[in-house]
C-alpha cells in the first residue's frame, strides 16, 4: 500500500510540474502571438529554412524584414529570435542599462575571450567597463597613431606586388595590417603578420575567429559534445592552446619588465605605457583587481573585437570608393589642402571631413556588424509588443541604415549625407558602433586605424572595384562579408609611380655594380 501511495504522489507531482511548464509555455507563446513570423514547422520552427549557407540565411533575413513589417520573429527550435530595424524599436533596447546581456550564442567565444568586455555581463561588465574606459584617452591614441602609420607603410609595400594584376582580394591584406596594428597596441609586440603569413599566432587568431563565427549560424556545431568531436573542434582547441600560450608568455614577460621598471624608476615607467597590456598591469594592482587570466581575457577581447571589424571596415570603404572614384579625388584634394607641410596628427585627421563622410556612408550601406543580439532576462515592451523573458532580440542594422525616412535613396552611396552641414539623424537611426551603455569602447581607436589605412592606400593607389553592387553576395557572421571577397584593381598615383621608378633605378644600379 505504501508503495502505491508513493507512486501516486510522485505521479501527481510529475503531472503538476508538466502542467506548470505547459501553462508557462502557453503564456510565453500567447505573449508573442501578434508578432509575425514566416511559416514554421512544429518543434523545429524555422530552423530548416536556416540550414543553408550564411549567404542564403542573410538573404532570407532581409526578405522577411521587407515582407513582415517593422518587427518579426524566427523560431529556431523552441527559441524565438525577434528582429528589429526601426530607430524607435531599438531605442528602448539599446538605451537600457538593464538589457545588456549578449545572446546565448556568445558562449561560443568564452573559451577564447573568457569574461572580457564582449562576453561579460552584470556587475562584472559594469566594473570592467568603468575600469577600462580611461585606457582609450587621447594621449594614448597619439601613441597608437604612430603604430598605425608604420603598419600602413608596410601595407603599401605589400600591395605594390598587386599593381598591374587584373584583380586581387583586399580583405586578407586588411586583416593582416589591422592584426599587426592591434597586436602592437595591445601587447607591445610585433607578430609581423603582413610579412610572415606562417606565424603560428597569426594563423591561430584567424582559425579562432573563423570557427567561432561558423558556430553562430550552424545548428549542429552549437552543441559542445558534437563540436568537440568534429575536425573543426580539434582545430579550434589547437588554435586556442597556441593563442593562450602566446598571450600568457607576453603577459609574463611584460609583467617582469613592468615590475623591474617600477622598482628602478617610477617616473620612467609611467612614461612608457605604450600598450594596453601595460595599462592593464598597472590597473591590476599586483593581482588584487585583475588577475593574469583577467588581463589575458581583455587582451584577447581587444585583439578579437578590433582586428576583424577594422579590417572589414577598410575593405568595404575601398570597395565603395572603387565604385565611386570621384570621391577618391575629393578625399585626396581635402587631405593635401589640410596637411600641406603638417605632420599627420589626430587633429589633422579630425579635419578630413570628406574622408569621414565616406567612411560613415560606407558603414551605413555596408554595416560592419549587421546583427546586434541581446538576451532578454527582464520584461520589455517594443512597438507595443511585450517581449517575454527568454527571447533573443536582434537589431538588423543592415535594414536600419536603409530606412528611407532618414536616408532617401537608401541603396545609393552618397557621402554628402554625413558632411558637417548635412542632415541630422535621430540617435538610433545610425549605429555603426552600436549605441547606449554597451556601445564600442574603442570606437575612437577604430576610427583612427580605419582612417589611416584607407588614406594611405588612396594616397598611393587609384582603386577600382571590379564587382557591381548587384554582384555582391552578402554573408553575415559576426561581421558583414562578401562571399567572394572584395576584388580590387590598383594603379599607382603619381607619387607612388615616382617611388616605383626610383626603386627600379636603384635595383638596376645594384645589378650593374654586381
Q: Distance between CA 373 and CA 106 in Å, rounded? A: 9
Please name which of 136, 132, 118, 137 lies closest in space to residue 439, comparing C-alpha atoms: 118
Q: Are strands 461-465 and 371-375 parallel, antiparallel or unpaired?
A: unpaired
Q: Is 414 helix (H, G, I), strand (E, B) or coil?
A: coil
Residue with cell 645594384: 510
Angle formed by the axes of helices 200-217 and 292-323, to 10°?
80
CA geometry: angle 429, 434, 440, nearest 5 deg: 145
| Spatial contact of 60 and 50, defined as CB atoms under 8 Å apart | yes
CA distance linking residue 268 with residue 10, whole number of Å:
72
Say how far apart CA 230 and CA 221 lie, in whole Å: 9
Q: Residue 266, annotated ligand binder?
A: no
Residues, the chain, total?
514
DSSP assignment, residue 464?
E
Q: How far apart are CA 119 and CA 478, in angstroms?
A: 14
Q: How many CB atoms lie within 10 A of CB 418?
A: 21
Q: Measuring CA to CA, which residue among 368, 360, 356 is closest to residue 455? A: 356
Q: Give the DSSP letter string of 286-307.
A: TTTSS-HHHHHHHHHHHHHHHH
Mark the binding-site residues, compressed into ranges. Answer: 440
Mark the binding-site residues for heme, compressed into ranges. Answer: 440
Amino acid at each position: 500500500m505504501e508503495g502505491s501511495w508513493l507512486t501516486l504522489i510522485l505521479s501527481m507531482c510529475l503531472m503538476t510540474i508538466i502542467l506548470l511548464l505547459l501553462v508557462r509555455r502557453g503564456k510565453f507563446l500567447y505573449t508573442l502571438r501578434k508578432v509575425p513570423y514566416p511559416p514554421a514547422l512544429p518543434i523545429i520552427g524555422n530552423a530548416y529554412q536556416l540550414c543553408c549557407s550564411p549567404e542564403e540565411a542573410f538573404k532570407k533575413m532581409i526578405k522577411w524584414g521587407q515582407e513582415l513589417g517593422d518587427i518579426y520573429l524566427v523560431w529556431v527550435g523552441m527559441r524565438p529570435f525577434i528582429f528589429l530595424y526601426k530607430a524607435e524599436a531599438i531605442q528602448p533596447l539599446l538605451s537600457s542599462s538593464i538589457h545588456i546581456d549578449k545572446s546565448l550564442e556568445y558562449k561560443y567565444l568564452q573559451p577564447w575571450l573568457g569574461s572580457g568586455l564582449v562576453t561579460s555581463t552584470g556587475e562584472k561588465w559594469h566594473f570592467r567597463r568603468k575600469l577600462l574606459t580611461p585606457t582609450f584617452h587621447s594621449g594614448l591614441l597619439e601613441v597608437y597613431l604612430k603604430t598605425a602609420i608604420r603598419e600602413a607603410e608596410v601595407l603599401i609595400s605589400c600591395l605594390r606586388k598587386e599593381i598591374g594584376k587584373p584583380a586581387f582580394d583586399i580583405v586578407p591584406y586588411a586583416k593582416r595590417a589591422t592584426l599587426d596594428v592591434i597586436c602592437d597596441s595591445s601587447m607591445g609586440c610585433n607578430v609581423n603578420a603582413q610579412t610572415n603569413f606562417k606565424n603560428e599566432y597569426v594563423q591561430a587568431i584567424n582559425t579562432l575567429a573563423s570557427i567561432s563565427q561558423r558556430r553562430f549560424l550552424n545548428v549542429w556545431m552549437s552543441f559542445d559534445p558534437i563540436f568537440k568531436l568534429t575536425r573543426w573542434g580539434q582545430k579550434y582547441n589547437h588554435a586556442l592552446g597556441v593563442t593562450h600560450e602566446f598571450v600568457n608568455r607576453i603577459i609574463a614577460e611584460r609583467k617582469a619588465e613592468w615590475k623591474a621598471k617600477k622598482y628602478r624608476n617610477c617616473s620612467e615607467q609611467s612614461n612608457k605605457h605604450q600598450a594596453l597590456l601595460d595599462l592593464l598591469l598597472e590597473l591590476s594592482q599586483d593581482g588584487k583587481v585583475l588577475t593574469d587570466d583577467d588581463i589575458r581575457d581583455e587582451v584577447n577581447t581587444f585583439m578579437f573585437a578590433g582586428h576583424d571589424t577594422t579590417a572589414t571596415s577598410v575593405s568595404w570603404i575601398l570597395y565603395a570608393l572603387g565604385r565611386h572614384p570621384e570621391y577618391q579625388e575629393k578625399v585626396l584634394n581635402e587631405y593635401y589642402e589640410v596637411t600641406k607641410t603638417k605632420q599627420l596628427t589626430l587633429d589633422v585627421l579630425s579635419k578630413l571631413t570628406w574622408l569621414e563622410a565616406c567612411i560613415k556612408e560606407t558603414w551605413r550601406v555596408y554595416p560592419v556588424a549587421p546583427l546586434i543580439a541581446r538576451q532578454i532576462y527582464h520584461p520589455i515592451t517594443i512597438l507595443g509588443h511585450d517581449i517575454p523573458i527568454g527571447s533573443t532580440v536582434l537589431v538588423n542594422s543592415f535594414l536600419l541604415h536603409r530606412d528611407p525616412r532618414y536616408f532617401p535613396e537608401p541603396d545609393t552611396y552618397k557621402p554628402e549625407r554625413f558632411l558637417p552641414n548635412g542632415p541630422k539623424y535621430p540617435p538610433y537611426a545610425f549605429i555603426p558602433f552600436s549605441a547606449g551603455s554597451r556601445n564600442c569602447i574603442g570606437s575612437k581607436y577604430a576610427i583612427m586605424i580605419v582612417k589611416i589605412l584607407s588614406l594611405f592606400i588612396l594616397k598611393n593607389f587609384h582603386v577600382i572595384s571590379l564587382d557591381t553592387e548587384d554582384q555582391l553576395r552578402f554573408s553575415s557572421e559576426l561581421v558583414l562579408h562578401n562571399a567572394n571577397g572584395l576584388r580590387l584593381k590598383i594603379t599607382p598615383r603619381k607619387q607612388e609611380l615616382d617611388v616605383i621608378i626610383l626603386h627600379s633605378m636603384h635595383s638596376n644600379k645594384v645589378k650593374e655594380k654586381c
